[in-house]
Amino acid sequence: MGKSDLMDRVTTDLSRGHTYPAVQRMHSLVAAHPTDLDLRRRLAAIYRATGNAVEAGRWSYLDEAAEPAEIEAFEARYPAHRRLDALRWPTGAPAPTDVSRVRLAPLLAAAASAQAPKPDSRRGSRLQTAAAVAALVALSALVVVGARTALDWIF
């Protein structure tokens, strides 16, 4: 289904007071066209109408007309290094406006500098211990079988 068809359905859903299907359709459109700021603005408007400031801030974050309280709610909900993921902005996609460039720049920097979880150093030693125990058990089994075979041969 085309973009204009889905937008017509969103308009129909909203005129009937059906915000849930309208939001779902808008999410599909934003997923298909992630750099379309007009779609993001429309999705934010639906969330704004339902009183969801965090989501309204999330989807209007890159828009110059974003409400400061909604931006604040979005930023309070998502730490800086997670905001880029929350925005669902495609990696490497250029920002279409000056405002979006200014708002994306620190998010890109925060995402790049976010510390990856440190590997658990104990995990490596646990694996080594488990491997040593398995080797010891296998060796013990061979010793028992070898001893039994030697005793059978002698007697």
The verdict on residue 8 lying in a domain is yes
Domain count, the chain: 2
51, 78: one domain: yes
Question: What pLDDT score was predicted for residue 148?
Answer: 76
Query: Is 100 a domain residue?
Result: yes
118 occurs within a structural domain: no
Tell me the two tokens of residue 66.
């974003």
d(CA 34, CA 83): 15
Residues 19 and 81 in one domain: yes
Is it the case that residue 91 has pLDDT exceeding 90?
no
- In the predicted structure, residue 125 carries a pLDDT above the cut 60: yes
Same domain, 36 and 84: yes
Answer whether residue 34 is part of any domain: yes
**Enclosing domain of residue 144:** 123-155
pLDDT, mean of residues 122-138: 72
- Band of the pLDDT at 117, cuts 50, 70, 90? low
What is the pLDDT of the chain when averaged over all its residues? Answer: 87
pLDDT tens column, 143-155:
777 767 777 777 7
* Residue 30 belongs to a domain: yes
In a shared domain, residues 127 and 88 = no
Residue labelled with tokens 């299907």? 21
pTM over 0.85: no
What pLDDT score does 110 carry?
78
Q: Please indicate, yes or no, if residue 12 is contained in any of the structural domains.
A: yes
Residue 140 covered by a domain? yes
pLDDT at 7 over 90: yes
Residue 35 lies in a domain: yes
Q: Are residues 107 and 129 in the same domain?
A: no
Q: pLDDT band at 58, cuts 50/70/90?
A: very high
Both 155 and 102 in a single domain?
A: no
User: Contact at 8 Å (CB) between 8 and 30?
Assistant: no
User: Domain of 109: which CATH number?
Assistant: 1.25.40
Burial of 137 (0-12, 13-18, 19+ CB in 10 A): exposed
Residues in the chain: 155
